[in-house]
Structure formats: C-alpha cells, structure tokens
Amino acid sequence: MEYRRFGSLDFQVSALGFGCMRLPTRDGDGSLIDEPEATQMLHYAIDHGVNYVDTAYPYHDGESEMLLGRALQNGYRERVQLATKMPSWEIETRADFDKYLNVQLDRLQTGHVDFYLLHSLKREWWHKLHGLGVLDWAEGAIADGRIGHLGFSFHDEYEVFQEIVDGYDRWALCQIQYNYMDIENQAGVRGLQYAASKGLAVVIMEPLLGGKLVDPPQSIAAIWDTAANRRTPADWALQWLWNQPEVSVVLSGMSAMQQVEENVASASASAAGTLTAAEATLFDQVRARYKDLSPIPCTSCGYCMPCPNGVDIPGNLGVYNEGLMYDKPDASRGHYGWLAFAFTEQGILDHDPRAAVCVQCGECEEKCPQHIPISAWMPVIHEVLGEGKPYVRSP
C-alpha cells in the first residue's frame, strides 16, 4: 500500500480509503447489508494496508455505522482512522449536535471518532450550522475526546467552498466530489488546490462518478485502448487522482470483494507525478469525447436562472445528458427521481425543481447563450427520466 501526507497532520494515510456507502446488500434492500461479505471486505482492505474508513449517519439507513461498530472489533478499530459525518439537514437546535454524535458513537461502539465531518455542506446548511455555534461545539467535543479532528464534506459552488474553508482556521480536512470529469464542477480543481494550500487534507469522493466511469461506451474505451500502458477504465480514473499531490486519500464505495482486491492493487501501484505526458493527454481526449456524446450543449453557466417556476434548468439538462454520455439511462432516471425527494423532503426548497413543472414560458431561452430550446427539452426530459420513455437526441 502507498501512503500519502494527510494535510498538516502527522499522519500518513493510505492512498485508498474504504467508503461505506455502497456495501453489499441483500434482496435489493439498501438497509440489509450482507454482513459476512462486508466484514470480509473491510478486513481484507485493512489487512492490506487501508487505514482510513469513512461512513455517515444516513448510509444504508443507519446500518453502515452499526455494521462498522461490529466489524471493527477484535483490534481492527485501532488499525484505522475512522470518519463519520453529522447529518446537517437534521440539525434544528444546538442540542442536536450532541444528540446525533452520541447516537453515532454508540452505533460505532467507540468512544471517539478520529474525524467528524459536517455532512454535504451547501450554503444554507453551512450558515444554519454556523449560526447555531457548531464550531464552538466541535471544539468542546474535541476537548472532551469524542472527536479527534473536524472537517466537512461539500456539494455546492466553488465560491461557497472557499467561504467555508476561510470560515474556520482549524479544519483538518475537506471531502469533495472530484474526478477527471468533475474538474470544474462543485469545488473542482480550484477547490482541491485551494484547500491543500491552506493545509487541509483533501479526501476524494465519487472518484468513479458513481460507477459511470467504470464501463464506458465503446468510443471511450477505444481511446483508452490506444495507451501503451493498458489499464482498466477504473484504474485510469484512480491513477488520475493519485497523480495529483494535493489529493490525500481516494475513497471508494466498494460493494464486492473483487472491487476491493482491484482497488488495493491499483493503490499499491500509485504515486504522485507518475502519469506520462501522453497518458495525461488521454484524459483530455476522453473528457472531450464524453462531452460530444451529450445531446444538449449546456455549459451550466446559469444565465437561464432563476426560473420563475423554480425549475433547476442546468440540473435537469445535466442529468439528461449524463444518461447518454455514460450510457447509464437508469442511473439518470434514479437521479431525476431523487431530485424531487431531496428537495421536498429534506426542506432545502419548498417546491419540485424537476422538468415536470416547466410551463414553457420561454423566459430562460432569451437568456441562454447556447440558444438551447429549453422549453422544448423540458417535457422530453420528464417523459424520458420521469416516465421511462426511450432516450432521444433532439426534442
């Protein structure tokens, strides 16, 4: 196993971290973890040098933390740095900070977590938690030994990311969505470099974009096949991350032993600055080809927003594009359905932001620099993603 610097802390972290959001399950039920298989996978990873394990309050409907509490018995807890996350959306009062942390420690069967992250921070949740005094509370939890270090995971725009990084001078780490397709999305490469420059460890999530980069369309596979050094698409994606010295650890949400074995082998062969110039060029070619596969030329500039009816226009266009780009239509349909649940049930917005609520007023089209016929696309997007009709490349 290769090890890397973890921000400004005196800790060498394994290049690969074990993410516990996609553990093997039974009967198609995300809350029914296949405990023998998951435990075997965790033990294999730790026995082969993985020393960073990540979970969160809601993973597997709360069962991820409980599984870890059992799997890390018999000396395994002492061999890893354990990270979990505060459910930011559930916090309503200052008393909730202790309430959730204590439940999590009980689930994990431990007196402390090495890293505690404010989960999935967006502007609204960061301001809410900050206003409730989460930073002062965390320093108290660090002082009483329940938390080793404080960090955050992130899903918003770069400007919000910088605001959060600059909002506290004792962050130990941040966790960002980052892969060779997300260099400008959310925190992006700017966020990676900014956080590292401030001494934060940078933990990478979604290195394979939820599996979308593992089994690419033939035109993408053909580009990888031109390389002198042959790798699997997953290994290419992981090595791209490990090639960057600002990356501390790459989390993989593994759901089968074969994935653990392959990822451990990839991590053991990794190092910063090892990709050749020719190999680096392949990523530019692959990224461009993926974008060519997108039927809607949206650049997510946001000029079309805000929509008077609350539609997340770039979000809907992007989800539709991804289904064709990555040849994963069912994944995009699931994401589209999740948009309604996430925005209405968790209280982020009080309306449905999906294409279904578009009234074809045309206001957005007057602002779109790409001249996209958005009003024509919106009913198509809902029919394809919301009603299961076949994909089309034009409205």
pLDDT in tens, the chain (395 residues): 999 999 999 999 999 999 999 999 998 888 899 999 999 999 999 999 999 999 999 999 999 999 999 999 999 999 999 999 999 999 999 999 999 999 999 999 999 999 999 999 999 999 999 999 999 999 999 999 999 999 999 998 999 999 999 999 999 999 999 999 999 989 999 999 999 999 999 999 999 998 889 999 999 999 999 999 999 999 999 999 999 999 999 999 999 999 999 999 999 999 999 999 999 999 999 999 999 999 998 888 888 999 999 999 999 999 999 999 898 899 999 999 888 776 544 445 567 899 999 999 999 998 888 899 999 999 999 999 999 999 999 99
Residue 131: strand pairing partners: none
Residue length of the chain: 395
104 three-class SS? helix
Quick one: pLDDT at residue 30? 87
Whole-model pTM: value is: 0.87
Residues near 136 by beta carbon (within 8 Å), at least 6 away in sequence: none
Quick one: pLDDT at residue 144? 97
Q: In order of start, what are the domains of the chain with their CATH numbers? A: 3-276 (3.20.20.100), 313-387 (no CATH)
Q: Are 259 and 238 in contact (CB under 8 A)?
A: no
Quick one: pLDDT at residue 340? 76
Q: Cα(303)–Cα(371) distance, rounded to whole angstroms?
A: 11
CA distances 95 to 55, 137, 346, Å, are 22, 10, 19
Q: Are 173 and 200 in contact (CB under 8 A)?
A: yes
Quick one: pLDDT at residue 345? 44
Cα 303 to chain center, whole Å?
26
Quick one: pLDDT at residue 346? 47
54 three-class SS? strand
Indicate the residue type of 114.
D
Quick one: pLDDT at residue 343? 54
Residues near 347 by beta carbon (within 8 Å), at least 6 away in sequence: 89
Q: Cα(378)–Cα(367) distance, rounded to whole angstroms?
A: 16
Place of tokens 């991804």: 322
By DSSP bridging, strand 25-26 and strand 29-33 are: antiparallel
